[in-house]
Amino acid sequence: MQSLYPFKLNPVFKEKIWGGQKIKQVLNMNFGLLPNCGEAWLVSGVEGSPTLISNGYLAGNELNELVEVFMGDMVGEKVYERFGDAFPILVKVIDSNDWLSIQVHPDDELAQKRGIGYGKTEMWYVMQADENAELICGFNRQMDQETYVGFLRDKKLKEIMNFEKVVEGDVFFIPSGRIHALGPGTLIAEIQQTSDTTYRIYDWDRIDHAGMMRELHTEEALDAIDFSMQKNYKTPYHIHENKTEKLVASEFFTTNIVELTQSLQKDYEELDSFVLLMCIEGSFELKWEDLSLTANAGETILLPNSIEKVSLIPKTSAKLLEVFIA
């Protein structure tokens, strides 16, 4: 069997009622004739929307096919024991040209109880934001189910939402159960569990092209919502050039940020996991043995677990997210 190597993947583009043109205009990604591209799925093992390998002798294979064949060499022994043949992380770029629905995701326990696979914990990194762009993350006061239902029934849900102004570089960790919504003018990198389960709570009374309102999941969401209020919803961090800085550490994924101004050597020998290197600004070159790959903003390189040592070289000054399962 031939050995594994660093992978690039072909994105899967998604038309959304709230999408726009930034994935093309800002990231130069060609999503064809979609009028409102809301999402580019960069790394996906989701059934029905898999990303395909685009380079090397395995080009054309689906991500989950490689997990099935190469198992621990692909994703790490512990990761394979935990998730089997399903690649456990979904990476997206989201162009929010209008408000997304106010929504919530179930945790693993509730999702499995309802027979819908895994829950969804996620994080956002703001790649670009228009002036005065904002989003919703969590409640702005301590809440309970009865009070929440009253605000929802009276169409006053916005009064209890925590609105956040956002700028490029902002990070939000959104564990399952936390109510949230992206607002207009934001281009987001999203790292999440492999799940496509969303409970839509309020959709701004929006009408689609067919004159219909989208389905709401008011009752299903009740058992999923975490009604507690957090003091701070935005993730604080500091960047130091050519150093790996932690953004999020959870049982579902770890995400670090790296700003490259010079070559950086990475050694993953002690890590029992694949590694995703998502370029969020500029471009960088990855060197491994005699192979070289370049990633521009909006592109991701997947390192199988069997690859231990690589070099990261900025083509311009570059920022990247480093994602794995610890």
Please state, in angstroms and rounded to a whole number, the distance separating the CA atoms of residues 182 and 99. 6
In this structure, what token pair is assigned to residue 30? 């060609």
Residue 69: φ, ψ to 5°: -80, -45
Torsion of CA 182, 186, 190, 195, to 10 degrees: 40
Please state, in angstroms and rounded to a whole number, the distance separating the CA atoms of residues 311 and 285. 8
Nearest by Cα to 171 from 185, 184, 189? 189
Please state, in angstroms and rounded to a whole number, the distance separating the CA atoms of residues 67 and 58. 12
Nearest by Cα to 186 from 135, 137, 129? 129
Please state, in angstroms and rounded to a whole number, the distance separating the CA atoms of residues 267 and 22. 35
The residues carrying an active-site annotation are 200
User: Cβ contacts of residue 51 below 8 Å, gap of 6+?
Assistant: 9, 10, 11, 12, 41, 42, 43, 44, 45, 62, 63
